[in-house]
Amino acid sequence: MEDQAVCCYRHPQRETGITCTRCERPICPECMISASVGFQCPECVSGRVSSGSGASAAGPPPSAARPRTLAGGTMTSDPRLITKILLAINIAVWLAVLSAGDRLVNDLDLVGRAYDPGTVQIVGVAEGQWWRLVTSVFLHQQLMHIAFNMLSLWWIGGPLEAALGRARFIVLYALSGLGGSALSYLLAAQNQPSLGASGAIFGLLGATAVLMRRLNYDMRPVIALLALNLLFTFTWSGIAWQAHVGGLVAGTVVAYGMVHAPRDKRALVQRGTCVLVLLAIVAMVWIRTVQLTG
């Protein structure tokens, strides 16, 4: 007889292998609140669950007064808020591109250094147009391109935001996107334009793998998805593989620092990891700029 799947008591459709250390009910990443030992469910943290002996719980200890996510972020009523905002920004920029045409794309895409016949000028990041490292992450032209990226953002981003918290999720997304832009700027041809949120999405995919490993979930689905995406990255023409790899590496490193940081040194380790990734991004941009302008 096969074992019955264990699902979160608050989200019955989600399988999990984690239980609350107080009431021992199964909980998913969205419901997990970091405690001094293991994780607790929102009800135990708020003091609404009775103790095993039947007496009313005395209430949460001071250290658990504010519900926290796995990475130490504050629990929120809408765990997908930042994901929704990122979706809205990407779609808004895409609609602006449909309205304004190629001129807006030429002003916002990622290009190292190239001649722009529209302005009769040399343009690019090497010419001081640093904003292209950021704006290109929110820029799409083709319907299938933005549709695939936004579906991926919705499926992957929501659970990550719930597990990390809003602030950490924003940092993860930003550094993943910048990591993809920086590696593309460093390794791609100087006049090769690139755009899209794929670097940031790959960073979220790497972070998902780190989180699932941390929770001892079955890694086969995410590994298969990652392998399939990397296969497409290196076999399909017209794909900036540098952005995908840069985002994947940055997102994986940032996520590892966030979810594996020891509780007593959590802030130090998490901030230190993010600073190191940011310094690596700055170094890549500086090296390439010197190459193109020296």
- Choosing from 46, 53, 198, 237, which is the catalytic residue? 198
- Choosing from 34, 136, 140, 244, which is the catalytic residue? 244
Longest CA–CA span in the chain (Å) reads 79
Q: How many CB atoms lie within 10 A of CB 293?
A: 10
Distance CA 192, CA 91 (A): 24
* Cβ 169 vs Cβ 270: under 8 Å: no
Active site residue 198: yes
CA–CA distances in Å: residue 228 to residues 36, 194, 217, 221, 255: 38, 21, 20, 11, 21
DSSP letter (8 states) at residue 189: -
* Tokens (6 digits) for 161: 């935001």
* Cβ 68 vs Cβ 33: under 8 Å: yes
Burial 61-90 (b: 16+ CB within 10 A, else e): eeebeebbbbbbbebeeebbebbeebbeeb
Distance of CA 11 to the CA centre of its chain: 23
Distance CA 113, CA 6 (A): 55
The residues annotated as belonging to the active site are 198, 244
